[in-house]
Structure 1
Amino acid sequence: MPAGSPTLAGRYGETAQRHTRNRWLLIGMGVFIAVVMIMWAIWGSGLGSKASQLQFTDTANNPIDAHHITVSFSVDAPAHTAVDCAVEAQNINFTVVGYDVIHLKPTAETHQVITKSLITYEPAVEGSLDKCWLP
């Protein structure tokens, strides 16, 4: 019997039908893995979530005296969404000498400009917005 005969192929499972089934099984598994990876990437990026629409920017800071500084910043968030923001003041050595968390209540406005006065325990030379997040 030659090596490529249909009798040997049938005996040891090397039929054209089995090759076709295996090929479709591999294609199906590849498509499933691709769909799972795409869904995971979309979920992980937060696409469409309110957090992905949150933007914030420092606008100004003004040292007032040895124990006070004002920090101004803007926040863009979806309407009717509460936002928390942390502001900090730093001294000449970049040590944080004042820190506060501001809780912005939900409003119909999507853009807000906030000015916060911080109390410091040392003279501050810089005030900045640390970060904002959805509570």
Structure 2
Amino acid sequence: MTTALELDERYGRGRRKRAKWVIGGAIALVVVVIASWVTVAQSMNSVDADDLSYELVDEHSVTVRFQVTAPQGRDLACAVEALDEEFGVVGWKIVEIPAGDSHMQQLSATIPTVAEATTGLVNSCWAL
């Protein structure tokens, strides 16, 4: 009579196949954990800026109000631009922001321009 062990060996069932699934599952789990950690770490260090308003002061300057959301305790810098009617850059300024006690800060910057601006905005912000 044929035993169950002999049948398993004959038809490829048993421990070897199960071991491959366990190893494959462990590798997949490690990849998912690493990808999740990279995503969380990037979002913890991300800096987000939102334009609130702008005011055309005169022909040679514009004031931009904006809000920055960033990790606490990090110095920041933002590139603020003034644009003309054709969306050409007519002035820009790098605004350095010291570390704050809050995740969110509202700021304003006056940008000198070489021509009359029609709008002002934050191009980008980053942690220093």
TM-score normalised by structure 1 residue count: 0.76
Q: Is 1:117 aligned to residue 110 of structure 2?
A: yes
Q: Kindly, what percent of the aligned residue pairs are identical?
A: 27
1:23-62, aligned counterparts within 5 Å? 23-47=17-41, 50-52=44-46, 54-62=47-55
Distance 1:97 1:80, change over 3 A: same
Determine the C-alpha separation between the residues in 1 that align with 2:93 and 2:18. Answer: 60
CA contact (8 A) 1:89 1:127 kept: yes
Q: CA deviation at 1:18?
A: 6.0
Determine the C-alpha separation between the residues in 2 that align with 1:48 and 1:116. Answer: 28
Determine the C-alpha separation between the residues in 1 that align with 2:39 and 2:63. Answer: 34
Q: Could you say which residue in structure 2 is the equivalent of 1:101?
A: 94
The residue matched to 2:51 in structure 1 has which SS?
Answer: strand
Task: Structure 1: give runs of 5+ residues left out of the alignment.
Answer: none
The one-letter amino acid paired with 1:21 is R
Task: Structure 2: give runs of 5+ residues left out of the alignment.
Answer: none
Q: CA RMSD in A?
A: 2.6
Q: CA deviation at 1:129?
A: 0.9
Q: Could you say which residue in structure 2 is the equivalent of 1:89?
A: 82
Determine the C-alpha separation between the residues in 2 that align with 1:37 and 1:98. Answer: 46
Determine the C-alpha separation between the residues in 1 that align with 2:36 and 2:16. Answer: 30
Larger gyration radius, structure 1 or structure 2: 1
The one-letter amino acid paired with 1:65 is D
CA contact (8 A) 1:51 1:133 kept: no
Q: CA deviation at 1:23?
A: 1.4
Q: Is 1:70 aligned to residue 67 of structure 2?
A: no
Q: What CA deviation, in whole Å up to 9, does each residue of 1:23-79 have, x standing for no partner?
A: 123212321232133123213323475324x43211001111221001110112232
TM-score normalised by structure 2 residue count: 0.80
